[in-house]
Amino acid sequence: MMYLTRSGARPLSLLALAALLAACGGNDDGNGYSAEIRRTEMGVPHIKASNWSGVGFGYGYVQAEDNLCTMADSFLTFRGERSQYFGGEATLVYGGTIGRPRNIDSDFFHRHILSADVVDAMAAAQSDNMHKLVEGFAAGYNRYVKDVKTGAKAHAACRTESWVQPITAQDIWRRMYAANLAGGYSNFVANIANAQPPVPANMSAQGNAAQSVDTKLAAFDPAATRTPRLEVGGTEGIGSNMYGFGAAATGEGSGVLFGNPHWYWKGPDRFYQAQLTIPGELDVSGVSFLGIPVVLIGFNDSVAWSHTVSTARRFGFYELKLTPGDPTSYERDGKSVKMTARPITVQVRNASGAITAVTRTLYKSEYGPMLNMGLLNPALGWSSTTAFAIRDVNAQNYRTFRNWMRWNQAKSLDEFMNIQREESAIPWVNTVAVGRGHAKAWYADIGAVPNVSPEQVAACTTSFGKAMGAALPNVPFFDGSRSACDWQSDKDSVQKGAVGPSRMPSLLRDDYVGNMNDSYWSTNVRAPLTGFPAIFGAAGTEALSMRTRLGHQMALERLAGTDGYAGKLASSAIVRQMVLNSRVYSAERFKTQALDMVCANPQIAVPGGGTVDVAAACAALRAWDNTGNSNARGSHLWDEFWNTKQLTNAQLYTVPFDPADPVNTPRELKASAADALRQAFATAVSKVASSGFAVDAQRGDILFATRGGSKIPLYGGCGGPGYFTITCSENPIERGGYTMDNQPHGNSYMQVVGFPAGGVQAHTFVTYSQSDDPASSHYGDYTRAYAAKQWLRVPFTESEITSSPGYTTTRVQE
């Protein structure tokens, strides 16, 4: 039964609500589930229940109510059942932390990696309250599926499909465990799903000789190496911005946090915003991935935190010397070790609709699953003598959600920091946090990271590992035949083979800490962090990204009062303005000099004959204000130009990177780069001309999201040219502009949180809106607010929630 109170109705009194809760059950003694779901502006749900089962029930219900089609599709992915419904050769509909592999590869990968024993181990490591939360979440999801299947009109795209099914708690544990792997296994789906030993015909002695390691090394062609696109942890793409300003910067007794994951706008890994409340036990607001019942980024009454993707490597490879005559056994310290074989059968729908069974036998070593390295370079294929395994430090990290659950309930920043050290569990992200009454802001890359010594890197890296070093920098690529090459443990390691928390980067500052996806080293450019293991990333040895340089410049300008805003304090109000200003670092630093080079002659000769007239383009860029705001004219032309140039930093800049001045170096364009820049500019002008957009078109005409058949003009851009405000379309300009309707990523859940006396002040966006259902009123409302730069002052206290415009309350129970 459901009880509904619409906007403007007087909320139930506390006594009446308590009586209703008792009547509806929802206790942890098996009497059923019950939760009150209060909705406020933008459809943000505030879920209140008397226990963990109830709050999980409410959370599962609202996630399904807003995103059923995406969630139902994703549960097929994690169960390895996509091919059964959509065919094996089709790819995933939307990208995520596993990219967009073929369904057949996705299915074998998930059946292999998310095996029952692993999922059971994940569940066994959790608290009773976590079990109640997960079981309640599954029940809430199922209740909504039942409701929508019996006459509701929502989610017309999927509600009648056979693949929209009830789930079990195992589906949630499976989904949670999969989130651990975004920095490791998930980047190698096809490699793991297609790892097969050589067939017996190739196992002759003659074949063995032909496939010796020396012979394979001689055949290794670096030019044939396919550098893996690390969906999470790569050089460009998915990432984030975040600041923590301490009391010296805010002028208050507490800090201000800005969090801004640049994340997926569609698909199973997108964020969902909610508040979860169990009176006296839990009160936390923020976001989770779809299908996860714990707040991953957010705030409570005492602390606020956010994350960015870390540069630390979370995985490594082991080269295995195979036992002669047996390609599924390997040598370790002189003894033969048999791989674990697992036959897996996937049901596959063909074009006629018939279902056939496809079986592969996949293998695991003691290090982890075998993988087909031949997909990265043909010389690394699984032969009769050599094979490769991957080890992901997070495969045995069952502490992640325990860490976040404890953070959800943390009472101070000091407690928050202690939890992070005690668990050392955060899987592949940096953390920034501020707390009520605490003068400093916290940064840490404290989590699960492989523990390899410099001596091991020197002694254990194989010849193939050295050959692949350029494609996989800082990734351990070790000899699996020697136990001396096993990952090590420190005295304070929380997990075997992981770095101990005392050797992981952290920093407390009363001015600011920040991360824009470069390494821990530049957390505060006034006080670079040094002395940490190389696997955490570069420490002053390479140039920062344009986005990182701009991010630190913005922080320094704010503290100096030179950014055009009032005063010198990083107040919530000013931070909210500066993080949406859509500045473009490359244009601010290099536009004038670049245009002097490429516009000296209005006609640029191009290879093959002919010229490109660049006069109008040059005029447009000289008049451009160097921002990506929706009314900026010419920014798209700069983007195309900057992204077209094919020059290294050494070829482009006169002044090289200087670790003593990381924000301002490298700088000054080389005269010798002029010809290459002219060609890049001519290409960009031609591309824009072929797109049909004018060189001085407004950005909002080119960069947009579509909701309800209408285009919503947006602002920002991609990280390459140095946008701080990230709204990054993968759609080429010549295919209708930079639409955010296909495979977009960028600003996702944004929060600016402070702790004034007597409350929490939190302003948020969910840039793509809460619901995936075009029929929902919350399919585009948040997106329109984001486009207008109108932050939501999200309610947190009971009085704020019940007095919010558009307040509704719904009781769900089972």
| DSSP codes, 509-537 | ESSEEEESSS-GGGSSTTS------GGG-
Question: 29-39 as b/e, with b when 16 or more CB fall inside 10 Å?
Answer: eeeebbbbbbb
Terminal CA-to-CA distance of the chain, rounded, Å? 8
CA–CA separation, 385 vs 390, rounded Å?
Answer: 17
Single-letter residue type at 658: D
CA–CA separation, 183 vs 416, rounded Å?
Answer: 23
| pLDDT value of position 608 | 85
Tokens representing 357 are 């069974």
Q: What are phi and psi of 63, to 5 degrees?
A: -60, -40
CA–CA separation, 461 vs 455, rounded Å?
Answer: 10
For 342-364, the three-class secondary structure string (H helix, E strand, C coil) is: EEEEEEEECCCCCEEEEEEEEEE
CA–CA separation, 66 vs 83, rounded Å?
Answer: 25
Answer positive or negative: Cα dihedral of 119, 77, 450, 544: negative
Element (H, E) at 288: strand 282-289
- Decide if 537 contacts 475 (C-beta within 8 A): no
Element (H, E) at 205: helix 205-210
| pLDDT value of position 743 | 80
Enumerate domains of the chain plus CATH numbers.
Answer: 22-190 (1.10.439.10), 200-232+314-395+452-485 (2.30.120.10), 583-715 (1.10.1400.10)
| pLDDT value of position 185 | 97
CA–CA separation, 533 vs 625, rounded Å?
Answer: 42
Element (H, E) at 798: helix 798-802
Which residues share a beta bridge with 259? 242, 751
| pLDDT value of position 792 | 98
Using alpha carbons, select from 428, 418, 395, 400 the residue that is nearest to residue 497.
395
Whole-Å CA distances, 22 to 2, 278, 357, 599, 810: 15, 14, 50, 75, 16
Q: Kindly give the pairing relationship between strand 282-289 and strand 271-278.
A: antiparallel
| pLDDT value of position 153 | 83
For 466-484, the three-class secondary structure string (H helix, E strand, C coil) is: HHCCCCCCCCCEEECCCHH
Tokens representing 798 are 């009971």
Residues recognised as catalytic: 240
- Asked whether the bond before 795 is cis by omega within 30 degrees of 0, the reply is no
Q: Within 13 A of 704's CA, how many CA atoms are on the CB side? A: 17
Collect the ranges in the chain with pLDDT lower than 50. 1-29, 205-210
CB atoms under 10 Å from CB of 300, counted, come to 26
- Decide if 186 contacts 113 (C-beta within 8 A): no
Whole-Å CA distances, 719 to 234, 626, 656, 687: 12, 15, 21, 20
CB atoms under 10 Å from CB of 785, counted, come to 18
| pLDDT value of position 216 | 73
| pLDDT value of position 218 | 76
| pLDDT value of position 235 | 55
CA–CA separation, 481 vs 479, rounded Å?
Answer: 6
Which residues share a beta bridge with 108? none
Model confidence pTM above 0.85:
yes
Whole-Å CA distances, 262 to 99, 141, 246, 723: 15, 27, 23, 12
